[in-house]
Amino acid sequence: MRAVLQRVSEASVTVEGTRIGEIGPGLLILACAMPGDDDATVARLAAKIAKLRIFEDAAGKMNLSVRDAGGSALVVSQFTLAADTSRGDRPGFSGAAAPAEAERLYLSLAEALRREDLTVATGRFGAEMKVALVNDGPVTIWLDTAA
């Protein structure tokens, strides 16, 4: 599974003019299921995200996890993280998990983050979404469970 984490002051997702998910301080997580990902992959990724120390402590050092900082997570499905740009000018996305499995794993990631004691909002799988965020730092981290 691939994920891009953005530390945010706030973030939201809107579908067809309706805001369906929003958070204050925390993480915007763009997530992409890949072939071969399973529930164990999701659990490892959720644990890593919950423990990753990318929030500042009182001394201004990145010493706190999103959980330690009292932050939330907004999880958005992002199949384009599987883009293959090795040939031509048009990316290919055949490296992403099949849609039904990708949706299941995306929803499983949101649930796994809740089990990690995070407040979680989500986008809508397969929808055309407008994602708004205020990147804090900026801090942007790429995670790939295959690496």
pLDDT at 11: 98
- The total of other beta-carbon atoms located within 10 Å of residue 138's CB is 10
Per the annotation, the verdict on 125 as an active-site residue is no
Give the pairing type, strands 62-64 and 55-56: antiparallel
Instruction: State the pTM of this model.
Output: 0.95
Per the annotation, the verdict on 55 as an active-site residue is no
Q: What is the pLDDT along the chain (147 residues), one digit of tens a residue?
A: 999 999 999 999 999 999 999 999 999 999 999 999 999 999 999 999 999 999 999 999 999 999 999 999 999 999 999 999 999 899 999 889 999 999 999 999 999 999 999 999 999 999 999 999 999 999 999 999 987
Give the pairing type, strands 129-144 and 119-122: unpaired
pLDDT at 108: 98
Q: What tokens were used for 132?
A: 């708004």
Element housing 128 (H / E)? none
- Give just the sign of the alpha carbon dihedral 14, 19, 20, 26: positive
Outline where DSSP puts E strands in the chain.
2-15, 18-23, 26-32, 55-56, 62-64, 72-77, 119-122, 129-144
Of 18, 78, 119, 122, which residue is the catalytic one?
Answer: 78
Q: What is the CATH number of the domain that holds 44?
A: 3.50.80.10
Per the annotation, the verdict on 14 as an active-site residue is no
Tell me which residue range forms the domain holding 98. 2-144
Chain length of the chain: 147
How many domains, the chain? 1
DSSP 8-state class, residue 98: P
Of 6, 41, 55, 79, which residue is the catalytic one?
Answer: 79
DSSP 8-state class, residue 69: T
pLDDT at 147: 75
Element housing 4 (H / E)? strand 2-15
Rounded distance, CA 59 to CA 78, Å? 34
Of 80, 85, 125, 145, which residue is the catalytic one?
Answer: 80
